[in-house]
Amino acid sequence: MSESEWNPLGYKNLYRELFRKHLERQERLMKEGKKVGWFFSFSPSELIYVFDVISAYPEQYSAYCAARGSSVDLIDSAVGNGYSHFLCDYFKTTLGSLLTPEKATKPLMPVPDFIIDTRALCVAHHEMSEIFSRIFNIPKFTVTYPYWTKDSATNIDELTKIPERIEQSYVDYTISRLQKLVEFMERICNTEMDDKKFRDVFSTSEKTSKLLIEIAEMMMSKPTPGSQREIADLVFLGFFVLGSDYAYEFSLKAHKIIRERIKRREGVSENEKFRLLTFGIMPWHSLELYEYCERTGITFPINLYVNASLHLVDSKKPFESMVRRSLHFTNCSYDMMDGVVRNARKADVDGALLLENTGCRITSMITRALADTLNERLGISSLVIEAPQCDPRVMSMERAKTQIEAYVESLE
C-alpha cells in the first residue's frame, strides 16, 4: 500500500506530562505512608482521589510489560504454575510478575493493602481479585454491576452512557454496593470520607468527562483528525485517573489541540482513503499497528474500546454516574448496539478492524456479533484479527499487515 504522510495530534508530550504528574503523586503519597490499592478498569476511579490512596492497575502494568517486551516470559510463568493459557493476558502477566519478579519490567507494581473489583466489565476482574487478595492476604471489595439487557436499559448513548430508561432496582442495588465501598475505603484508610473533597473530585471528573467525550466526538470529523496511536491511550484517563486534576489538565489541552486541528481541516493521514471503526483492546506489544494503517491512508474515527471507557459524569448524581459507567456496549446484550450503529453512521465509516483478544471473553465473544450488526445495518464488512493484548506470539505483525492489505483491497 502506498505511503501517506502521518500527522498525529502530538499528544505524546501531554501523556508524558500526565504520567509524570501521576507518578509524582504516587511518590508523594508513598512517602506519606498512604494505603496502596489495586484497581481494575471500570472501577470508580474518583474514590482514589477522594481518599488519597496510591493506585495501581494490573491492566496498565501488564500493558507496560507488553510494550517493553517482558510479558511473554510472565505469561509463561503463570501458565507454568498451573493457570490456564486461555485466561486474560492482563491476569497472566500480572501474576507472572508476582511469581517471577526478576523477569518483570521495572518498576514493579507496589504491594497492595487492598483490592477493589467490579463486574462492570467482566467476572474475570472478580476472579483475578480473589487470587491477588489470596496471594497478598489482604482485604478486597467487590461491586456487583448488572449486565444490561433490553429489559433493563434502553436506548443508551454510546459516549455519554445516558439511557432513555434504566431498571431502578439494579441502579439502587449497585449504588448500595458503592456506598458500602465508600465505607470499606473509610475503614481501610481509617478516616471518614471528606464530603467536600468528594464533591470537588466529582466536579473535576464531570468537567474531564465532558472534554473526553467531545474529543471522541471530534474524532468522527472528516478527515479523521487524530491517530489511534494517541487516542487509544485515552483509556488511561477514562478508566484509571478520572477525577484527578492532571486528567483534567490533559483533557483541556488535548481538546484544544484536536479542535484546532479540525478548524484547519487537517487529518492524521494526508490522503484519507478509508475510515474504519475499530474495537478491541490494543495489542500493546504491537503499538505500530494503527500507525501502519494511518500511514497508508486508513484512519480510525471511532474506537469503541476507547468509547467504552468514557461516560458523562454528573457531579450532582455521583453514585448514579458510577453506575452508568457500566452502560458501555460490551456490558450490554448484543441486541443493544443501536448507539454503536448511530455513531458508525455519523462517522461515515467504510469498514471495521476488530481485534479479538484471546483470553478475553468479553471483547472476543462480542466481535462477530458486532461485525454482523455492522454488516446487516450499515452494509459494511469487518476484518477480525486475533490479537491478544500482551502476547505477541499469537499475533504476528507481518501477518496482520497482510490481512489488512487484503481487506483494504476488498474495500477498493
Partner 1 sequence: MTHELIQELYSYFSTKSFIKAYKKDGKAVIGLLCNTVPEEIIHAAGAVPSRLIGTAENFELAPAKIPGWICNYAKRVFEDALSGKFDFVDGVVSSTSDDTKIHLFSAYNFYLKPEFSYLIQIPYVRDDLSRKFFVKELKRFAEKLSGFLQSEINDERIEYSISIYNRFRELLEVLNSMRMEDKPKLSGAEWMKIMQSSTSLLKEDINPLLEKLIEKLEERDGRGEYSMRVHLSGTDFHDIALIEMMESMGIAVVSDDFCTSFPAEQVNNGIEGIAENYLNQTACVLTSASTSIEERIEYIMSRFKESRAEGLIILRDRGCEICGHQCAFTMDAFRDVPTMVLDLDVPVTTEQYTTRIEAFIESYG
Exactly one of 206, 230, 356, 391 binds partner 1 (CB under 8 A); that residue is: 356
Please report whether residue 127 would count as binding partner 1 according to CB under 8 A.
Answer: yes
Please report whether residue 133 would count as binding partner 1 according to CB under 8 A.
Answer: yes
In terms of CB distance, is 93 or 133 closer to partner 1? 133
Which range of residues in 226-234, 256-264, 307-315, 360-368 is near partner 1 by CB under 8 A? 360-368
Exactly one of 155, 176, 191, 402 binds partner 1 (CB under 8 A); that residue is: 176
Nearest one of 201, 222, 216 to 328, comparing CA atoms: 216
Exactly one of 364, 378, 380, 395 binds partner 1 (CB under 8 A); that residue is: 364
Q: 148 forms bridges with which residues in the sheet?
A: 332
Where helices occur in 32-122 by DSSP H, the ranges are 46-50, 58-68, 71-80, 89-99
Whole-angstrom distance, CA of residue 119 vs CA of residue 133: 16
What b/e string do you get for 209-248 counting C-beta neighbours within 10 Å, with b at 16 or more?
A: bebbbbbbebbbbebbbbbbbbbbbbbbbbbbbbbbebbb
Based on its alpha-carbon atoms, the radius of gyration of the chain, rounded to whole angstroms, reads: 20
Please report whether residue 134 would count as binding partner 1 according to CB under 8 A.
Answer: yes
Exactly one of 10, 107, 149, 346 binds partner 1 (CB under 8 A); that residue is: 149
Please report whether residue 165 would count as binding partner 1 according to CB under 8 A.
Answer: no
Whole-angstrom distance, CA of residue 361 vs CA of residue 104: 25
Please report whether residue 108 would count as binding partner 1 according to CB under 8 A.
Answer: no
Shortest Cβ distance from residue 163 to partner 1 (Å)? 16
Q: What three-state secondary structure class fits 269?
A: strand
Whole-angstrom distance, CA of residue 65 vs CA of residue 89: 11
Please report whether residue 169 would count as binding partner 1 according to CB under 8 A.
Answer: yes
Extract the C-alpha cell encoding 25. 503523586
Shortest Cβ distance from residue 91 to partner 1 (Å)? 8
Shortest Cβ distance from residue 381 to partner 1 (Å)? 14
Please report whether residue 397 would count as binding partner 1 according to CB under 8 A.
Answer: no
User: Per-residue x/- marks for partner 1, 178-207, CB under 8 A?
Assistant: --x---------------------------
Please report whether residue 123 would count as binding partner 1 according to CB under 8 A.
Answer: yes
Please report whether residue 59 would count as binding partner 1 according to CB under 8 A.
Answer: no
In terms of CB distance, is 180 or 187 closer to partner 1? 180
Query: Using alpha carbons only, what angle is made at residue 98 by residues 94 and 102, rounded to the nearest 5 degrees?
Result: 105
Q: Within the chain, how many helices (H) and strands (E) appear?
A: 17, 10
Please report whether residue 68 would count as binding partner 1 according to CB under 8 A.
Answer: no
CA distances from 319 to 85, 145, 173, 198 (A): 37, 13, 11, 11
Cis previous bond, 163, omega within 30: no
Number of other residues whose CB lies within 10 A of the CB of residue 369: 13
Shortest Cβ distance from residue 88 to partner 1 (Å)? 8
Please report whether residue 334 would count as binding partner 1 according to CB under 8 A.
Answer: yes
Which range of residues in 11-19, 236-244, 363-371, 404-412 is near partner 1 by CB under 8 A? 363-371
User: Looking at 223-263, which runs of residues are DSSP E strands?
Assistant: none
Exactly one of 9, 54, 122, 385 binds partner 1 (CB under 8 A); that residue is: 122
Contacting positions for partner 1 (CB under 8 A): 81-87, 91, 119, 122-124, 126-128, 130-131, 133-134, 140, 142, 144, 146-147, 149, 151, 169-170, 173, 176-177, 180, 333-335, 356, 358-359, 361-362, 364-369, 372
